[in-house]
Amino acid sequence: MPGKSPQRVSDSSVCVDQVIQRVGKKITLGLPLGLGKPIHFANALYQRAKADPSLELHIVTALSLVAPTPSAGLEKRFMDPFIERLYGDIPELEYARDVLAHNLPDNVKVSEFFFQAGNFLNHKEQQQRYICTNYTHAMRDLIALGVNVVGQLVAPDTDADYPRQFSLSCNPDLSLDLFTNLRAAETEANPIALVAECNTNLPFFGRDAALPVNTFDLVLETNEPDYPLFSVPQTPISASDHLIGFYASCLLKDGGTLQVGIGSLGSALIYSTCLRHQNNTAWRQLYNKLEVAERFPVADKCGGREPFSKGLYGCSEMMVDGFIYLMEAGVLTRQVYPDAELQEQINEGRSEPGAGNDGRLQQGVVMHGGFYLGPRNFYKKLAQLTAEQRQLICMSSVNYINDLNDHRFGNQRLKVAQRVSGRFINSAMQCTLDGAAVSDGLEDGRVLSGVGGQYNFVAMAHELEDARSILTIRSTRTSGAKTSSNIVFSYGHCTIPRHLRDIVITEYGIADLRGKSDEEVYLALIRIADSRFQPGLLEQAQDAGKVNTNFELPAAWQNNTPAAIGQSLNDLQQQDLFPPFPFGCEFTDDELKIGKALKQLKADTSTRTGKLLTLLRALLSGTGGKDYASLLQRMELDRTDSVGAWLERRLLIRGLKKAGL
């Protein structure tokens, strides 16, 4: 029970025994989103359920991370060594692998409120068990589902500044409030079990994320070496992504607040933000070349062009690795304080951080985050933070971060005072001409990922003074040989409704939609669409009576082409600016070359005719000889012992030559 010292065990099977003894054989197990899952405990409980059909196990969670499974052939040759390098020392989350393989026993089910993107698009069972909820409502829904066991990966109680305390580190997001509410509802008839699994690879974050050891009933400390943290590699930033990130960086106000999500679009924003601060001359060169101020007045109205002398404050459900790069660049420096009166005085210039002997000024932080997940280098940087730097980061409750409601960590007055000039930047898949955004699913009802906290931040942007919601969208997508517009007339599903429309960015510019008439909104979005699709979009809008039939596309709008994207960045990329991997890469140089060749082959074989032509040309490509020796060796194709391997070698050489390597 709470208040007692937890039982510490070293055997995961014994831990499961104690949980069953405490709560019985009907278990609803809550596990944190992403990184914070206690793999040893979760696997032991799942294996017990597989061995004992009388144990009823319902796992409720989000983002169950598993290593990718490559297809046979060249993809497998390329990915297998990479996967082994990144994930070979991490035990697999066994229930998650069995879910993917449709191999769960009848007495086990898994429900998630956020999927690893695309993993379950064609998985009927998981589509049926998906729980659609806002991040801020997830705790409520977990409790309603009857969660009676929670497992959590924690940083052990070895930090001298936080004696006899564990750190929730990567995942205080829901757990902080879930633990409190479960304890409050616990009775002798309805016991709960809170299980901590220690892992020394988790960096210790204090402040809100530090909890007394006796919060937990059981602590699992195995005698095995602690496994590494599951990483998500950096993805390359294309020229189009860089331009989207650049336009977003134009909207950041010095002294403001930033929220940003994971992925190459978020990384592109971070890169351009660092560039604006550290190399303002180069940043302004592109700003002027794109005529940002003249074409998109909202940039000057809501953003800025100068370096960040006041700095930014991060308030983001996910602390992406980019926030660490902003810290290193001297951008993430605006401290906020847990006292509304003091914060208001600072905002109004009546008090200066660092001035006087006010003890409250020692409590400043530059970052509130709910959870983190990212590349291996990110975890390394977190581990290398000094104690002082770590104190500037407050990992906290998502119910504090994602909305303005009163919370035990701070009321609405405090939140409003901290979150001045908020810029809440998230990516979407599509945007309809009326300003609704599609981020998580398809119009047939299938879910790609989940709502997460996107809706929370969009809504909050409309509540806070001088805050803006910014949705970043690639103008097109390509499947096989077909390219389609992501700016569409209509779509049978939306994540963000049209009445919350605000700012939308593509690689072709910024659409300021807030408070505008429907005709203005339709035209603003057509303006930043790919020019191949502008005439069709305009015709649909005019047929629907949303745009005057006399309107014609201005010539200035009709240069939204992939060629124009390359021209925009060409000069700066020759100066080694706007690279594809500005924050490092998990791939070797040889692997990057092979990856480029495989991407070329995929494009060339997207049609039946393309497959036949590529195969024919591959047969005529030769053996490659010494030119590609290291690349062939990496793919284990330096020697071939079968017809299939011989053909794969020829195809790879064809791809390398076609890619200009």
Distances (CA, A) of 649 to 58, 232, 357, 630: 47, 29, 70, 13
CA distance linking residue 471 with residue 453, whole number of Å: 13
CA distance linking residue 189 with residue 205, whole number of Å: 35
Write the DSSP symbol of residue 450.
-
Q: Residues 504-513: pLDDT tens digits?
A: 999 999 999 9
Q: CB under 8 Å to 660, separation ≥6 — which residues? A: none
* Residue 38 and residue 69 in contact, taking contact as beta carbons nearer than 8 Å: no
Q: Are strands 367-372 and 482-485 parallel, antiparallel or unpaired?
A: unpaired
Supply the pLDDT for residue 1: 45
Domains of the chain: 7-220 (3.40.1080.10), 239-562 (3.40.1080.20), 589-658 (no CATH)
* Residues composing the chain: 661
Q: Residues 429-465: pLDDT tens digits?
A: 999 999 999 999 999 999 999 999 999 999 999 999 9
* Residue 425 and residue 261 in contact, taking contact as beta carbons nearer than 8 Å: yes
CA distance linking residue 136 with residue 403, whole number of Å: 8
- The residues that bridge with 315 in the sheet, in sequence order, are 368
**Concatenated DSSP letters for 426-441?**
EE-SEEETTS-EE-SB
Q: CB under 8 Å to 124, separation ≥6 — which residues? A: none
Q: What is the token pair recorded at 22?
A: 């405490």
Q: What is the token pair recorded at 195?
A: 């299980």
Q: What is the token pair recorded at 186?
A: 């616990």
Supply the pLDDT for residue 609: 86
CA distance linking residue 288 with residue 275, whole number of Å: 15
Backbone angles phi, psi at 15, to 5 degrees: -60, -45
Q: Environment class of residue 344 by beta-carbon count within 10 Å: exposed (0-12), middle (13-18) or buried (19+)?
A: middle
* Residue 398 and residue 343 in contact, taking contact as beta carbons nearer than 8 Å: no
Helices (H), 239-391: 239-249, 264-278, 280-289, 292-295, 298-302, 322-329, 340-347, 376-384, 387-391
Residue 63: half-sphere exposure toward Cβ, Cα within 13 Å: 20
CA distance linking residue 484 with residue 208, whole number of Å: 45
SS (H, E, C) 493-522: CCCECHHHCCEEEECCEEEECCCCCHHHHH
Rg of the chain taking only CA atoms, in angstroms = 26
Side chain identity, residue 15 = C
Q: Which of 494, 373, 357, 378 is nearest to 435 (CA)?
A: 494
Measured in whole angstroms, how far is the alpha carbon of residue 96 from the centre of its chain?
Answer: 19
SS3 call for 365 = strand
Q: Which of 582, 496, 585 is nearest to 269 (CA)?
A: 582
Q: Are strands 313-319 and 218-220 parallel, antiparallel or unpaired?
A: unpaired
CA distance linking residue 36 with residue 176, whole number of Å: 13
Side chain identity, residue 2 = P
The percent of the chain in helix, strand and coil, each rounded to the nearest 5, is 40, 15, 45
Sign of torsion over alpha carbons 453, 110, 372, 88: negative
* Residue 437 and residue 472 in contact, taking contact as beta carbons nearer than 8 Å: no
Q: Which of 99, 117, 119 is nearest to 109 (CA)?
A: 99
Measured in whole angstroms, how far is the alpha carbon of residue 533 from the centre of its chain?
Answer: 29
CA distance linking residue 390 with residue 30, whole number of Å: 28
What's the mean per-residue pLDDT of the chain? 94
Supply the pLDDT for residue 625: 67
Supply the pLDDT for residue 44: 98
CA distance linking residue 206 with residue 165, whole number of Å: 9
- The residues that bridge with 61 in the sheet, in sequence order, are 112
CA distance linking residue 522 with residue 542, whole number of Å: 10
pTM of the model: 0.95
The H helix count followed by the E strand count for the chain is 26, 22
Supply the pLDDT for residue 403: 94
- The residues that bridge with 479 in the sheet, in sequence order, are 482
H/E element, 7: strand 7-9
Supply the pLDDT for residue 623: 66
- Mean pLDDT, the chain cut into blocks of 10 residues (661 residues total): 81 97 97 97 98 98 94 92 95 96 97 92 95 94 96 96 97 97 95 98 97 97 94 95 98 98 94 98 97 96 97 97 98 97 93 76 94 97 96 97 96 98 97 97 94 94 97 93 94 96 98 98 98 98 97 96 94 94 94 91 85 85 77 89 88 87 83
* Residue 291 and residue 505 in contact, taking contact as beta carbons nearer than 8 Å: no
* Residue 234 and residue 267 in contact, taking contact as beta carbons nearer than 8 Å: yes
Q: Which of 472, 397, 392 is nearest to 431 (CA)?
A: 472
SS3 call for 473 = coil
CA distance linking residue 166 with residue 161, whole number of Å: 11
Supply the pLDDT for residue 613: 87
Q: Which of 461, 476, 462 is nearest to 430 (CA)?
A: 476
CA distance linking residue 199 with residue 221, whole number of Å: 8
Distances (CA, A) of 318 to 208, 477, 495: 15, 26, 19
- Inter-helix orientation angle 608-619/643-658, to 10°: 100
Distances (CA, A) of 325 to 45, 96, 199, 219: 39, 32, 25, 34
Side chain identity, residue 211 = L
